[in-house]
Amino acid sequence: MAAAPKAEARIAAALDSAGAVTGLQRLYKSLDAPRTLRALGFHEDHITEAVDLILPQVPPSNPRSIDAADLQRLLHSAWKENTP
């Protein structure tokens, strides 16, 4: 979360962890939480529709600029692969 170090620090502190990702990994494991959008029942063929719905909601204050291709890659990765 290099783009938002203050947010990363708050998440890490809330999870009593040295880093946000480490804390989230520990939380996922303790809850046996689904790790992909696919495991949550999200269908891959809905990614384009999700991008169209999400992109207009991204605020100008977002730490990184994002376009449709970025969001498409992010959602496809979240659908296919385990989260960090």
Distance CA(36)–CA(13), nearest Å, equals 25
pLDDT at 83 over 70: no
User: Is residue 57 domain-shared with residue 82, that is, in the same domain?
Assistant: yes
Confidence band, pLDDT 50/70/90 cuts, at residue 2: low
User: Is residue 54 domain-shared with residue 26, that is, in the same domain?
Assistant: no
27-74 confidence digits (pLDDT tens): 989 999 888 999 999 999 999 999 999 999 999 998 889 999 999 999
User: Is residue 41 domain-shared with residue 12, that is, in the same domain?
Assistant: no
User: Is residue 77 domain-shared with residue 40, that is, in the same domain?
Assistant: yes
Predicted TM-score (pTM) of the model is 0.75
Distance CA(57)–CA(77), nearest Å, equals 20
Residue 81 confidence (pLDDT): 86
Contact 19, 12 (CB under 8 A): yes
Domain residues for the domain of 23 are 1-33
Residue 3 confidence (pLDDT): 74
Tokens encoding 74? 């992010």
